[in-house]
Amino acid sequence: MLSIIAPLDAKPGAQTDGVPLKSDPHAERTLPQPAAGASGPTHAQLRAVGEGRSPPLILADRYRVERRLGRGGMAMVYAGRLLSIDRTVAIKILNEDHRYRDDRLARFVAEAHMTSHLRHPNIVDVLDFGSTQEGVVFMVMELLEGEDLRAMVRRDGPLPWPRVQSLMRDICSGLSAAHHAGLVHRDLKPANCFYVDDTVKLLDFGVATHSSVSAGERMTSVEDDPTQTLDPGWTDQFTGDRRVIGTPEYMSPEQAQGHPVDARSDIYAAGILLGELLTGRVPFESTCATGVISAQIFDPPPTLQELGGEEFVVVEAIEAIYARALSKAPDDRFATIEAFAAAIAAVVPVTMHPRWWRRPGVMAAATTLAGLLAVMSI
């Protein structure tokens, strides 16, 4: 049996199968070693399952890998089943070339350890973690059947305020749990927010870090693909790797400059996400990642009115929330994610019409006195 990162009744600081589970952010995190005789498919055999060229295969003597759900630059995700209790699961497998890169392996291990301790309805559950004799490193999570917010916005376009409020409530709730655990997500974006059963769950804490940790001192390289998560240049806390961590379109100015980051960096990204749900656009777009990063650091963000176009109608309270969240200086933003969430919750829409904000000449929403006070004084 392979090492399990945290059984359902385990607590930080406990030990299971010889693997230390420490809540100390600087505690050593090691890859569980496969038990003698633990078997499983090779990476090539798993790829064949994902491509439909092979029937399901058994991983680590207890999971059946059935089909591929998605792929990324760092890992592949498969739908599978825990055989002992016939439970469906998602199995995230580190790409073979990253298995031998200390920085990527360390980040994968850190993601498993950190996420396993964030038991919250708005954060995906990590159930197991380990490796096999064949060199396959895997993480097992709850299987989510739904869609990410990127797909939702692409399909539906800008969303009505009541729906945005509901989505942002769940996002902020998940971030609150992470922040109270001392973690900063650092890569909040629609693709990492999964909508399932009328609830949003946060995904991918692979680049999360502990609050107020410096990302480094200077940028050393930048990739010119703004559609991908940027890995260009500073020291990462867990890996020692000098890389900028995050996605340019959602990166706070301090994160982009390698300054210390805390919960307010996630608030900046949450503000961008708020605007994107409302308008379908992010404040800064470019064909070059360096252009987006430069804008995040130096350029004032466009207003929601500017992003939404001539027919977009938005009240001042929502503009004020958005502007404050996107302040260049962290001290000028909301102090906590809870304060940001309270300001959003306080804005009361006049109508539930799905396109209320697009009607020219009509005031899109009204705010309660509490809402105005929340925006002005939190």
Q: 328 among the known binding-site residues?
A: no
Burial readout 144-159 (b: 16 or more C-beta within 10 A, e: otherwise)? beeebbeebbeeeebb
Is 187 annotated in the active site? yes
| φ and ψ of 213, to 5 deg | -100, 130
Question: How far apart are alpha carbons 340 and 337 in whole angstroms?
Answer: 5
Which one from 125, 128, 148, 187 is the annotated catalytic residue? Answer: 187
Give one DSSP letter per residue of 55-106, joined into a string: --EEETTTEEEEEEEEE-SSEEEEEEEETTTTEEEEEEEE-GGGGG-HHHHH
114: exposed, middle or buried (Cβ count in 10 Å: 0-12, 13-18, 19+): buried
Residues 125 and 141: beta-carbon distance below 8 Å: yes
CA distances from 282 to 168, 204, 270, 272, 329 (A): 16, 20, 11, 6, 19
User: In this structure, are residues 140 and 187 in contact, taking their beta carbons and an 8 Å threshold?
Assistant: no
Residue type, 216: G
Separation between Cα atoms, residue 50 and residue 44, nearest integer Å: 10
104 to each of 230, 238, 300, how far by Cα in Å?
A: 14, 10, 34
Q: What are phi and psi of 126, to 5 degrees?
A: -100, 125
Q: Give the C-alpha separation, 91 to 77, whole Å.
A: 6
Q: Tokens in use for 257?
A: 């400059």
Query: 81 and 64 in contact (C-beta within 8 Å)?
Result: yes
> DSSP alpha helices (H): ranges in the chain?
43-50, 102-116, 149-156, 161-180, 253-257, 263-279, 289-298, 304-308, 316-325, 337-345, 369-377
The residues annotated as belonging to the active site are 187
Residue ranges of the binding site for ATP: 92
